[in-house]
């Protein structure tokens, strides 16, 4: 009998992979399920992006293996994007590495910097992949608390009281997923100082900066950040290109080279046409974000109404692609609550517990649902 690797004992199937099978089965049975769980943009990329990809199909080199580092003009576009929107200067040849989605980067970074037994600081609540990838590479997940009373930011005094001698890497994500709490330059300065003091690599996962956010920030705006920090970003949410799988990691050449060493042994470069489309997307101006955010604002206002129907409370100043809502007092289990809503109202909402124990008592709504569907959901209550 063929057995699986021991590392698989440390992780479970991704929650959404399992839960969406249940949703698909309900749909197959004719039940009108409205999916408010997944943050997969339902809007299309700009027409110029699709046209650029279409034209690229007829280029001589369109169907060849591509460079592990992507096209030079793609890296240049990414550098221009950071300069124009964050005021961050990056060398497109040495400080940027295109990725097939930023989720790929979580694994590559972990393989590049973590040895067995190294410890990793992971936010609770936070993106579940940080913990699962940490376990897969046989490092140790050490969770740090984020709570509403501290605006979902790390408690540095509490962190300083811990034994940090084995900590090699710290995951942060601002704007924060799932809560929508925004970052600040002051927070990023504290993170950079913390990383420098304890020789910890700080990685900011930053895919939500331009969704309902009037103040986009990058950790790389902090003086000296490149010494101890990497930043992941993505075109998935910013330009409605989730299925295209275009992301990037930015940092100093030594850190980027380490990630490239892993990446170059795991894939053969991003498809040419997708790169050409991404180049065009990165040229879009602020009017693109304004147009998208008009749509998301209308949807979010409706989600607020739905959350109020469920007697939830929420922060109207949060940013990003979700609404993080606190359940009313007396509800013992977020998962039991959303399962009941799914069964009785055929609406799928994400329970906060999949993001960590501090997510208990919360649920998360996605804005990747049409206004008509949200209005229908409201009507079901």
How sure is the predictor about 170, in pLDDT bands with cuts at 50, 70 and 90?
very high
Rounded to the nearest integer, the mean pLDDT of the chain is: 94
Q: How far apart are CA 73 and CA 276, in angstroms?
A: 9
Q: If you average pLDDT over residues 210-232, what whole number do you get?
A: 96
- How is residue 109 written in tokens? 């970074």
10 Å CB burial of residue 94 (0-12, 13-18, 19+) is middle
pLDDT at 111 over 90: yes
Contact 225, 193 (CB under 8 A): no
Q: Count of CB atoms within 10 A of residue 11's CB?
A: 15
User: Which position has the token pair 């240049």?
Assistant: 76
**Residue closest to 79 by CA, chosen among 193, 225, 231, 266:** 231
Give the model's pLDDT for residue 342: 93
For residue 188, the number of C-alpha atoms closer than 13 Å in the C-beta half-sphere is 26
Lowest mean pLDDT among 4-13, 127-136, 155-164, 215-224: 4-13
| Residue of higher predicted confidence among 40 and 288 | 288
Lowest mean pLDDT among 9-13, 119-123, 267-271: 9-13
pLDDT at 72 over 80: yes
Give the model's pLDDT for residue 285: 92
pLDDT at 380 over 90: yes
Q: How far apart are CA 81 and CA 262, in angstroms?
A: 25
Give the model's pLDDT for residue 290: 95
How sure is the predictor about 247, in pLDDT bands with cuts at 50, 70 and 90?
very high
Instruction: Please say whether the dihedral angle defined by the alpha carbons of residues 345, 128, 126 and 38, taken in this order, is positive or negative.
Output: negative
Tens-place pLDDT, residues 9-38: 777 766 777 777 888 888 899 999 999 988
Give the model's pLDDT for residue 21: 86
Give the model's pLDDT for residue 1: 86
Q: How far apart are CA 37 and CA 375, in angstroms?
A: 16
Q: If you average pLDDT over residues 105-121, what whole number do you get?
A: 96
pTM score of the predicted model: 0.93
Kindly give, in sequence order, each residue whose CB lies less than 8 Å from that of residue 262, ignoring residues fewer than 6 positions away.
108, 111, 112
Distances (CA, A) of 180 to 146, 286, 323, 359, 365: 12, 21, 7, 13, 11
Give the model's pLDDT for residue 321: 95
- pLDDT above 90 as % of the chain: 88
Give the model's pLDDT for residue 178: 96
Q: If you average pLDDT over residues 87-116, what whole number do you get?
A: 95
Give the model's pLDDT for residue 22: 83
Q: How far apart are CA 282 and CA 263, in angstroms?
A: 23
Give the model's pLDDT for residue 366: 96
Give the model's pLDDT for residue 344: 93
Tens-place pLDDT, residues 314-366: 999 999 999 999 999 889 899 999 999 999 999 999 999 999 999 999 999 99
Q: If you average pLDDT over residues 117-126, what whole number do you get?
A: 97
For residue 154, the number of C-alpha atoms closer than 13 Å in the C-beta half-sphere is 28
Give the model's pLDDT for residue 350: 94
pLDDT at 101 over 90: no
Contact 194, 176 (CB under 8 A): no
- How is residue 170 written in tokens? 């710290």
Contact 151, 122 (CB under 8 A): no
Q: How far apart are CA 338 and CA 307, in angstroms?
A: 12
How sure is the predictor about 121, in pLDDT bands with cuts at 50, 70 and 90?
very high
Q: How far apart are CA 38 and CA 23, in angstroms?
A: 12
| Residue of higher predicted confidence among 23 and 257 | 257
> Is residue 175 reached through a cis peptide bond, with omega within 30 degrees of 0 on the bond before it?
yes
Give the model's pLDDT for residue 24: 87
Lowest mean pLDDT among 14-28, 75-89, 102-116: 14-28
- Phi/psi for 103 (5° steps) reads -60, -35
Give the model's pLDDT for residue 9: 78
Q: How far apart are CA 330 and CA 324, in angstroms?
A: 18
């Amino acid at each position: 009998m063929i057995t699986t690797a021991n590392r698989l004992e440390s992780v479970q199937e991704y929650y959404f992979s399992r839960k969406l099978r249940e949703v698909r089965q309900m749909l197959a049975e004719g039940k009108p399920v409205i999916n408010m769980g997944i943050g997969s943009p339902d809007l299309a990329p700009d027409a110029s992006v699709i046209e650029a990809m279409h034209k690229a199909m007829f280029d001589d080199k369109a169907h060849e293996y591509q460079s592990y580092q992507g096209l030079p003009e793609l890296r240049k576009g990414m550098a221009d994007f950071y300069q124009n929107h964050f005021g961050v200067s990056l060398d497109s040849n040495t400080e940027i590495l295109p990725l097939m989605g930023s989720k790929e980067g979580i694994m590559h970074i972990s393989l590049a910097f973590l040895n067995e037994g190294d410890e990793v600081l992971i936010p609770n609540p936070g993106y579940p992949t940080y913990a699962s990838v940490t376990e897969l590479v046989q490092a140790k997940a050490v969770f740090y608390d984020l709570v509403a009373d501290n605006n979902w930011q790390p408690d540095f005094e509490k962190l300083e009281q811990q034994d940090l001698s084995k900590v090699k890497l710290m995951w942060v994500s601002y704007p924060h997923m799932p809560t929508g709490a925004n970052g600040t330059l002051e927070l990023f300065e504290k993170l950079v100082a913390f990383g420098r003091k304890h020789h910890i690599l700080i990685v900011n996962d930053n895919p939500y900066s331009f969704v309902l956010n009037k103040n986009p920030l990058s950790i790389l705006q902090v003086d000296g950040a490149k010494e101890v920090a990497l930043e992941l970003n993505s075109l998935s949410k910013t330009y409605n290109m989730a299925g295209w799988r275009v992301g990037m990691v930015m940092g100093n050449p030594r850190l980027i080279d380490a990630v490239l060493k892993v990446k170059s042994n795991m894939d053969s470069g991003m498809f040419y046409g997708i790169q050409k489309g991404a180049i065009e997307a990165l040229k879009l101006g602020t009017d693109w974000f304004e147009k998208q955010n008009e749509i998301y604002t209308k949807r979010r206002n409706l989600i607020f109404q739905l959350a109020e129907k469920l007697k939830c409370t929420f922060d109207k100043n949060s940013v990003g692609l979700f609404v993080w809502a606190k359940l009313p007092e007396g509800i013992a289990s977020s998962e039991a609550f959303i399962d009941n809503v799914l069964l009785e109202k055929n609406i799928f909402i994400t329970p906060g517990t999949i993001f960590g124990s501090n997510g208990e008592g919360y649920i998360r709504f996605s804005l990747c649902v049409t206004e008509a569907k949200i209005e229908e959901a409201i009507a079901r209550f």
